[in-house]
């Protein structure tokens, strides 16, 4: 199957043999932890931006966005931040929200271009039912996602009562961690979801470096996958493969917590449809995620506009928004030579974290566009891994089963609180610290987690110092 995956989203200059040899050396794992590696402080390569000290740290255009495109980038930002309103409205260029929706702007979930946090409006809930054929399909009544807001005069699909159970975990050296396991109480407006329904709560990921992740060669990701664990390290790693709505071919899934989206543009169009209820060239129906059973929703007023190609969001708006979403810069690292950070880095490698959080990749050499042929440090393999019962949502998505998640990129990890005003990690935001996130690891990552549990308090602090320096 691997050989059939194409990359229609990017025009590529094929690598020469000499380049392949150079790349193989450049992405080797480190063995000397007495000093930082070359280029390590610039995780986005030429696209790296300064590590601002305020909430704008994830909001900067990548350093390699050409001057001539900066105006479009800012227009894209305006669309990302725009608060959409219901139709009909006097502000024609911003109407069409809903009928059901989850938020009024992209930026209300991706806070300051960073992540969303559990308990805020940013926690969205995917839903599906078995299709009777071994697969799944959207819920017949509620669709693929539950919306907790609706236009006035309509009742939202559900309200969420989120609570947490405490889970204590003893760590070596007399320390204890107090984790919290989320419990989702759903009050459904249009009848119970039913026994067979499967839900998957998720928070919005950070928006940095997405064009770079899109430019990692599919071939390089597939080379990291080891579905049958032939190398016997207990870590398999499977590629997500999806049918692209935009290109009509099978592609590697890269975006979203189960890697269900092949490109930034498809993810963006899907967000407009499902999260905001807006029509785009790719998903042109104006009722978003309403099902045929939800007749009131399908018949509600909408903002499709002849001056916007008969849509609520036209191709020009999508183009600038995609430019923006692809090119948010990755902040430079600090303290790469700090002895505690270097100690933490060596522990990261000793514990086997790098088997999934693969530090380095080299992007495609592109015929045009940003992020071409760069050594980048996202700390992910973009593959799916079984993370154990503790993190399982029990809801298959494409090739991912109910225990598998895409390895989260770790770049920008230490800046989450600075950008978003609070901390929150993992797909559902349950972890309040970076250490809690690590302690929830299980399944293929159980052995790595156990190593962290067994560290001395001093070494655990060093590991965290390294993670927070990313």
> According to the 3-state scheme, what is the secondary structure of 268-331?
HHHHHHHHHCCCCCCCCCCCCCCCCCCHHHHHCCCCCEHHHCCECCCHHHHHHHHHHHHCECCE
C-beta closer to ligand HEC: residue 16 or 56:
56
Helices 315-326 and 70-81: crossing angle in degrees, nearest 10, is 100
- Enumerate the H helices of 163-236 as residue ranges: 210-214, 218-224
CB 94 within 8 A of CB 85: yes
* Interface with ligand HEC (CB under 6 A): 80, 102-103, 106, 109-110, 116, 122, 124, 202-205, 210, 235, 255-257, 260, 264, 267-268, 271-272, 275-276, 321, 325, 348, 351-353, 355-357, 385, 387, 391, 405, 407-408, 413, 425-427, 434, 437-438, 441, 444-445, 448, 452, 467
CB of 69 to ligand HEC, least distance (A): 17
C-beta closer to ligand HEC: residue 36 or 431:
431
**Lookup result for tokens 């979203």:** 256
C-beta closer to ligand HEC: residue 188 or 453:
453
- Of 40, 34, 24, the residue nearest 377 (C-alpha): 40
Four-CA torsion 233, 234, 235, 240, nearest 10 degrees: 130
Residue 400 per-residue DSSP state = B
CB of 353 to ligand HEC, least distance (A): 3
C-beta closer to ligand HEC: residue 45 or 409:
409
C-beta closer to ligand HEC: residue 197 or 464:
464
CB of 136 to ligand HEC, least distance (A): 14
CB of 434 to ligand HEC, least distance (A): 5
Please name the residues in contact with 133: beta carbons below 8 A apart, sequence gap of 6 or more: none
C-beta closer to ligand HEC: residue 413 or 462:
413
Determine the Cα–Cα distance for residues 219 and 362; give it in Å rounded to an integer. 12
Strand partners, 362: 375
CB of 418 to ligand HEC, least distance (A): 15
Q: What are the backbone dihedrals phi and psi of residue 94, each rounded to the nearest 5 degrees, phi first?
A: -125, 20
C-beta closer to ligand HEC: residue 300 or 351:
351
Residue 173 per-residue DSSP state = G
CB of 177 to ligand HEC, least distance (A): 14
CB of 79 to ligand HEC, least distance (A): 8
Determine the Cα–Cα distance for residues 229 and 389; give it in Å rounded to an integer. 20
CB of 18 to ligand HEC, least distance (A): 32
Largest alpha-carbon pair distance within the chain?
Answer: 67
Tell me the Ramachandran region of residue 440: left when phi exceeds 0, alpha when psi lies from -120 to 50, beta otherwise.
alpha
Structure tokens at 79: 């669309």
Structure tokens at 27: 């992405």
Q: What are the backbone dihedrals phi and psi of residue 199, each rounded to the nearest 5 degrees, phi first?
A: -115, 155
CB of 62 to ligand HEC, least distance (A): 14
CB of 316 to ligand HEC, least distance (A): 15
CB 52 within 8 A of CB 331: yes
Altogether, the residues listed in the chain come to a count of 470
CB 269 within 8 A of CB 282: yes
CB 198 within 8 A of CB 258: no
CB of 280 to ligand HEC, least distance (A): 9
């Amino acid at each position: 199957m691997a050989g059939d995956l194409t990359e229609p989203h990017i025009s590529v200059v094929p690598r020469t043999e000499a380049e392949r040899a150079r790349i193989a050396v450049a992405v080797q794992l480190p063995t000397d932890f007495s000093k930082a590696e070359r280029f390590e402080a610039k995780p986005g390569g030429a696209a790296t931006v300064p590590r601002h000290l305020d909430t704008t740290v994830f909001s900067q255009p990548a350093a390699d966005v050409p001057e001539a495109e900066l105006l479009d980038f800012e227009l894209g930002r305006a669309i990302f931040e725009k608060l959409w309103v219901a139709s009909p409205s006097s502000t024609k260029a911003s109407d069409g929200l809903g009928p059901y929706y989850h938020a009024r702007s992209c930026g209300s979930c991706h806070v300051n271009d960073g992540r969303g946090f559990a308990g805020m409006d940013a926690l969205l809930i995917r839903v599906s039912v078995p299709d009777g054929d071994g697969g799944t399909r959207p819920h017949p009544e509620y669709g693929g996602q539950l919306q907790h807001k609706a236009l006035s005069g309509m009742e939202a699909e559900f309200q969420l009562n989120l609570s947490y159970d405490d889970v204590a975990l003893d760590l070596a050296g007399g320390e204890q961690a107090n984790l919290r396991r989320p419990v989702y109480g759903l009050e459904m407006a249009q009848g119970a979801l039913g026994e067979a329904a499967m839900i998957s709560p998720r928070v919005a990921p950070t928006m940095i470096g997405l064009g770079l992740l899109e430019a990692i060669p599919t071939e390089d990701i597939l080379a990291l996958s080891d579905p049958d664990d032939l190398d016997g390290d207990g870590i398999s790693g499977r590629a997500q493969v999806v049918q692209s709505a935009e290109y009509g071919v099978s592609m590697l899934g890269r975006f979203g917590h189960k890697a269900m989206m092949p490109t930034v543009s498809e993810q963006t169009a899907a967000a407009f449809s499902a999260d905001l209820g807006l029509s785009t060239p790719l998903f042109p129906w104006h009722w978003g995620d309403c099902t045929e059973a939800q007749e009131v929703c399908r018949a509600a007023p909408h903002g499709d506009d002849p001056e916007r190609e008969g849509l609520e969001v036209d191709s020009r708006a999508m183009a600038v928004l995609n430019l923006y979403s692809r090119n948010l810069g990755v902040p430079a690292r600090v303290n790469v030579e700090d002895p505690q950070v270097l100690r933490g880095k060596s522990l990261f490698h000793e514990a086997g974290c790098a088997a999934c959080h693969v530090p380095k990749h080299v992007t495609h050499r592109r015929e045009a566009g940003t992020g071409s042929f760069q050594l980048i440090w996202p700390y992910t393999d973009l593959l799916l891994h079984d993370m154990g019962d503790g993190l399982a949502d029990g809801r298959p998505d494409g090739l991912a089963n109910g225990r598998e998640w895409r390895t989260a990129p770790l770049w920008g990890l230490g800046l989450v609180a600075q950008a978003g005003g609070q901390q929150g990690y993992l797909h559902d935001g349950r972890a309040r610290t970076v250490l809690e996130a690590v302690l929830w690891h299980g399944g293929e990552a159980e052995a790595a987690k156990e190593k962290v549990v067994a560290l001395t308090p001093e070494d655990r602090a060093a590991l965290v110092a390294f993670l927070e320096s990313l």
